[in-house]
């Protein structure tokens, strides 16, 4: 299985490098790729994380110039080990620029939380609850454990999240099978307030 990327507005713009997995090549014969800071719109140096901006060259009926995709990426240039010179999106799409949460002064992406939560085999499903009703945003991560999960899952997960993301979320283990399951795109972030 290989990754690819595209959008309704732009069409397909990238494909995973089969010879050097872990990144996608931008089809630069069809697109001009840039990366900008999502907030300031200033250019980001190659290799730095930012929002992917594309200009399509081959869609005559619907040209888009400097279209902000909303995708967070790390773009590198130069010759890939596969021999191609197309720009490379390292690690694929890292997340969405508009999904960023600010929790106690930290910029946090749900995809970063998911990466940590999914590293625990004892987690069957999870949900992130963002409560913005108070002075500070509160984050609660609800964990739906696999049957037979070990005690202390909430404590261990809290420690790893705090170590990697530099804030201490509240982790709550709920009854097994109580969180919704998704067949298509998951809706794991719930916002309150």
Q: What is the pLDDT of residues 68-97, one digit of tens each?
A: 998 889 999 999 999 999 999 998 888 777
Does 124 have pLDDT greater than 90?
yes
Q: How many angstroms separate the Cα of 80 from the Cα of each of 51, 53, 75, 152, 153?
A: 22, 21, 12, 44, 41
Domain range holding 88? Answer: 4-93
CATH number of 178's domain: 3.30.300.30
For residues 98 and 95, give the distance between their C-alpha atoms in angstroms, rounded to a whole number.
9
Asked whether residue 31 falls in the same domain as residue 89, the answer is yes
Asked whether residue 57 falls in the same domain as residue 113, the answer is no
**Pairing assessment for the beta strands 138-145 and 123-131 based on DSSP bridges:** antiparallel
The total number of structural domains in the chain stands at: 2
Asked whether residue 62 falls in the same domain as residue 111, the answer is no
Write down which residue in 75, 93, 111 finishes a domain: 93
Asked whether residue 52 falls in the same domain as residue 113, the answer is no
CA 138 to chain centre: 20
Asked whether residue 88 falls in the same domain as residue 137, the answer is no
Asked whether residue 80 falls in the same domain as residue 123, the answer is no
- Average pLDDT, integer, range 136-158: 89
Please give the model's pTM, rounded to 2 decimal places: 0.60
């Amino acid at each position: 299985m290989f990754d690819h990327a595209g959008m309704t507005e732009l069409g397909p713009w990238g494909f995973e490098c089969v010879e050097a997995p872990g990144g996608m090549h931008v089809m630069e014969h069809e697109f001009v790729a840039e990366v900008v800071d999502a907030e300031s719109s200033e250019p980001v140096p190659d290799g730095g994380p930012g929002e992917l901006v594309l200009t399509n060259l081959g869609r005559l009926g619907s040209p888009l110039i400097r279209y902000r995709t909303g995708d967070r990426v790390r773009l590198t240039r130069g010759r890939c080990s596969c021999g191609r010179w197309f720009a490379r999106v390292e690690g694929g799409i890292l997340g969405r620029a508009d999904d960023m949460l600010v929790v106690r002064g930290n910029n946090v992406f749900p995809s970063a939380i998911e990466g940590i939560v999914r590293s625990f085999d004892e987690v069957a499903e999870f949900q992130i609850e963002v409560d913005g009703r108070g002075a500070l945003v509160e984050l609660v991560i609800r964990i739906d454990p696999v049957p037979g999960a070990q005690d202390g899952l909430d404590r261990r997960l809290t420690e790893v999240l705090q170590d990697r993301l530099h804030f201490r979320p509240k982790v709550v283990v709920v009854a097994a099978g109580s969180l919704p399951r998704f067949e298509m795109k998951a809706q794991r972030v719930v916002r309150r307030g």
